[in-house]
Structure formats: structure tokens, C-alpha cells
Structure 1
Amino acid sequence: MQKTVNKASERKAAYIFILPAVVLLAAFLIYPSLQTVRYAFTDYNIMRPDRIVFCGFNNFAELFRDKDFWIAVKNTLYFTILVVPFQTVLALALALLISSRRRGVSIFRAAYFSPQVTSMVVVAILWTVMYNSSPDSGLLNALLVNLGLEPCGFLNDPKTAMNSIIFMSAWQGAGYQMMIFLAGLQGISAEQYEAASIDGAGKIASFFYVTLPGLKNVIQYVVMITVIQAMKLFTQPYVMTKGGPQNSTRTLVYYIYEQGFQKRNFGYACAVAAVFFVIVISLSLGMKKIIKAE
């Protein structure tokens, strides 16, 4: 009897502790998500909150005919396809560099991780200045000119704008994945490397036959979270290019912001957000099925 009372008391205490988290989750995630789906079927202008007209699937029909929407989809996928492998390889390389226990290596760990703890807005402004097309004020173009090369448009050229954002984003975000890889490397026992060395394996062979298999689950996890983060690209285009030039950096999240808060077409923005949610969930489930992420 006493054991049953104790279990009931523990269960009650557990419910009390998780109640604040459940309330916050419902208030700031579940309820807004349900409202987004609701408004997606309405002709809702944010300037007229008292006038919400049900329009059925009109927003979705218009969305799939909208060229700007498909441009945003293409740009988002392009960014994701390029930044994920680039950032993953960069993070793994940095983790391998700092995985030793030599004196002073902690300084490099802090240096490589520092961009991650810096506000993305600050980083974007900094790189915007560095990408400036003028050799007089743009650090990178000044370097190119000093090397005898032609200055690059970077953010002003539709052919290079998104690639410039990809490079900056990988530089800023690699520190977080680096720490995950570092934890994974520390989980690989030294005996495995010693056994490989006895069998005549060098550093390269040990990397492919010991390190990579030992990091399999870590790599799957890093790829998964990097894809999800990449699909939510917004701050960099908003700060650096405003979706330009010529819509070359307009992404899905930026398009949602543009429709909802610039053009005040809130119902249509909610429809785009609903489709974006389906795309991200489908992509995540597809990746999980393909790589069997754990």
C-alpha cells in the first residue's frame, strides 16, 4: 500500500514539474502552429484583423502558380545542398585538428567555436563589410586587388551572392558541429587505433577504417540537424542582401516574412509557412529513412 502511495506521489510531482514546460510549449508552439493552419485558408490582411474571410484552398492554388515561391524553394534547396556537406566536412576537419591533448589546444577550440556564440546579425554585418564590392572598403576585394586579381561582386552579383552567404554560414556554424564531432572522437577507444597501427595502417587508413566508422551515428546526427537549420535560412539574406540581387538569395523563410510583414498578406504567408512545414518534415523523415539516423 505504501509503495502504491509513493508511486502516486512521485507521478504527481512529475506532472507538477513538467506542467510549466507543457504550458509554454502549448502557448508558443502548438497554438501558433494551429493558428497558422487556420489562417492559411483565409484572406487575412494583418492591417484588418477584424476582417477574416474564409477562402478555402485559394491561397495554396495561388502559391503553386507563384514564380517567386518556386524561386524561394530553389534558393533554399540550393543553399541546403551546398552548405550541409561543406559545413560538415569543415567541422570534422576542425575537430580532428583540435582532438589532440597538446598544450594550448584549448585556445584553438575557443577560437573555432567563438563564431557560434556570436550573434548571427553581428556576423552578417561583419561579413557584409568584408564582402563590400569596393576595394577601398571591402577587405576581401582589397586582398584580391593586392594579389593582382579583379575585384569580385560577392553580394552584388546574382551568380556569387548565395555562394558568399553559404561560405559565411558554414564558417559561422561549423563550431557547433565541431564540438559534436569532438565528443564523438573522444568516444573512439585508443585500442582501435593501436590495433590498426599493428596491422600496418597509416593515418589515412586509420581515418577511413577507424575514425569514420566510429563517427557514423555522429555524422548522421550532424547532417540531420544541419539540414534542418539550413532550411530555416533567414537572417543572412535579411541583413546582407534583402533577398537580392534579382531574388538570388530569397529563401522560403524570407519569403514568408516578406509576404506576411511587408506586404501584409498574412493569410498567404501562413499558406507558405504550412507548405514549408510539410517540406521540412518530409525531408527530415526521408533522410531518417535513408540514413537510419539515431
Structure 2
Amino acid sequence: MHGLLMSAPAVVGLIVFVGVPFGYAVVLSFYNVRLGSPLEPTFFGLEQYRRLFTDPDLSGPFLRALLNNLTFAVVVVPVQTALALGLAILLNRKLKAIGLFRSLFFMPVVFPMALVAVIWRLILARSDQGMLNSALDAVSFGNWGAFDWLGDGATAMASLIVLSIWQGVGFQMVILLAGLQQIPGELYEAAALDRASRWQQFRHVTLPGIHGTLVFVAMLTSVLSFRVFDQVYVLVRGGGLDEDATRTVMYQAVTTAFDQNNIGQASAITVVFFLIVVVLTLIQRRVVRPGNED
């Protein structure tokens, strides 16, 4: 009874802010709803879903956005988790001013993603005034020139990935740091007495000790990587980011709803994407936790 009472606020919030909007999106996906149109919504049935997979004007951008999302997640999840683990191990030490270093690595998480996108737009600007181009030009003694990191299709997604990892790695680092601090020090002392190397201690003491935390961080990073939107929108609209190379499903849904005024089609996109993310999350959970825990 006490458990139900304590979980009630979270459950109510989940229903009100997630369940109800998603249910409303499912309903809207069966209608032809135009934003700002004086006409009444008309029932479309499964027409929005059929168009999403058969109409080349809709299926092409949607499938490209889905592929971009998968590419982003496949790179970000392992790289960001590994970097977060490395930083957590590095900062899990009793050193002077360690709190300052922890704060510096966590600071990008506090910044709004829109601000982070603006900062990286200045770094990756195409002109000679771009910080990265200026640094490479100085290193190459004036032989580098101006490269369009955001506008070039070959580097646009990589730029977006670097930006996102820089902003988000501190959050996962804090979670893993908390997990590392829960490992009893006696285990490392026993391993040292057995003359275990640093690698052996990491493999047989650290990793088993934070296994559950790593699973949580990997799944959380996966969910966050699939809902990437802010940095794409800001950089496409104001930073010259290549739209086709970095278009995500959330970006596709928002532009369909508010640029094309097609609320019904945008709702169908979000419903299909939600089901895809649920399936991928269940598969990931099965892979990282192959056995059922008692």
C-alpha cells in the first residue's frame, strides 16, 4: 500500500504527460487534420499510415530520417557510454580539487541544447572565422582553407554526433560515478593482494560491480539518442546544417506538423516511431540482459 502511494505521483505524471498525449496522437493519426484549417477533421482510417510507406514523397524522407536516427544511435550509445565510463573512473579518485574537475565535465549538461548548438555553430562555421577551421589553418600554416563541416553531407552527421556526445556525456558520467562509489574498497584490496593488474581489477571487479548501472546508462542513452531534435532544428534553420544528411524522425514529425500543417500525418509518424523505439529497446534489453534475473 505504501509503495502504491509513493509511486502514485510518478504514475499520474506518466499518464497525464505521456499516456494521454500519445493516445491523442493515435486518434489524430486516423484523421486528416490540418493546422489552422477551418474545415472539420475528416476520418482517414489507415490512409496516413499507408501513405507513410507507399507515397514516395512521404516514405522517402521518413525512411531517410529513420536511417539517420539509427546511425546516430549506433554511434552515440557505445561511444558516449565508453567515454562516460572512462571519465567516471578518472574522476573516482581522492585528489585535490576533484570536485572542480567533476563540475567542469558536468557543466555542458546544464547548458540548454539550443545554446550548445549555437556554440558549436561558431566552432564549425564554414568561414575562416570558424574556430575549428582557424585552428586547422594555423596548424597547416595557411594551407587548410574554409571547410563546411555542417553543410557537407559527409561530415554533417559526424558533427552532430560530436556535439551531442560533448553535451550529454557528463550526465552518464555522474550516474556511473555514483555506481563506482558503491563498489566496496575491500574488493580492490583483495584483488591487489592477489597481484591482479589494473586491467584484471577493471574486468573482474569494476565491470561486475557496475553492471546494472551500465545497463541503465546504455538504455537511457538509447532513448535519448532516438529523440534527438533540438540540435538538428537549430542548426538546420540557422547554422547551415545539411538537412537530408541529419534529418531525424522527430524533426520530420515537427516539420510535417508545423511547416506543412499536416497534424494527422505527423501523428502517424510519431506513432510508428514510438513502436519502433519500443521494439528496439526491448531487443537491446534482451541483448544486454540475456538471462532473467531472479
Q: Normalization by structure 1: what TM-score?
A: 0.89
**Which residue in 1 is equivalent to 2:278?**
281
**Which residue in 2 is equivalent to 1:81?**
74
1:172 matched to 2:161? The reply is no
Equivalent AA in structure 1 for residue 155 of structure 2: T
**Which residue in 1 is equivalent to 2:246?**
249
1:141 matched to 2:130? The reply is no
1: CA distance between counterparts of 2:111 and 2:243?
Answer: 29
* CA deviation profile, 1:230-269 (whole Å, cap 9, x unmatched): 0000001101124952510100000000100110011000
Overall identity of the aligned pairs, in %: 37
2: CA distance between counterparts of 1:76 and 1:88?
Answer: 17
Q: Please tell me whether Structure 1 or Structure 2 has the larger radius of gyration of its CA atoms.
A: 1
* CA deviation profile, 1:137-188 (whole Å, cap 9, x unmatched): 2111100111106343210111101110101111110111001110111111
Q: Normalization by structure 2: what TM-score?
A: 0.89
Q: Aligned-pair distance for 1:25?
A: 4.4
State the Cα RMSD in Å: 2.2
* CA deviation profile, 1:35-68 (whole Å, cap 9, x unmatched): 1001111111112264111111111111113100
How many matched pairs?
282
SS of 2:177's equivalent in the other structure is helix
Equivalent AA in structure 1 for residue 197 of structure 2: G
**Which residue in 2 is equivalent to 1:46?**
35
* CA deviation profile, 1:72-125 (whole Å, cap 9, x unmatched): 000000000001111111111111111001111100000000110111111111
SS of 1:144's equivalent in the other structure is helix
Q: Quick check: 1:244–1:250 contact (8 Å CA) kept in 2?
A: no
**Which residue in 2 is equivalent to 1:60?**
49
**Which residue in 2 is equivalent to 1:187?**
182
Greater displacement, 170-179 / 46-55:
46-55
Equivalent AA in structure 1 for residue 121 of structure 2: T
1: CA distance between counterparts of 2:200 and 2:13?
Answer: 50
Q: Aligned-pair distance for 1:22?
A: 5.9
Equivalent AA in structure 1 for residue 32 of structure 2: D
Q: Quick check: 2:31–2:41 contact (8 Å CA) kept in 1?
A: yes
Q: Quick check: 1:79–1:230 contact (8 Å CA) kept in 2?
A: yes
1:97-136 alignment to 2 at 5 Å? 97-135=90-128
Q: Aligned-pair distance for 1:27?
A: 3.8
Q: Structure 1: which 5+ residue stretches go unaligned?
A: 1-6
Greater displacement, 204-213 / 110-119:
204-213
1:221 matched to 2:216? The reply is yes
**Which residue in 2 is equivalent to 1:4?**
none
> CA, structure 1 residues 64+166, in 2 after alignment: closer, same or farther (shift >3 Å)?
same
**Which residue in 2 is equivalent to 1:3?**
none
**Which residue in 2 is equivalent to 1:240?**
235
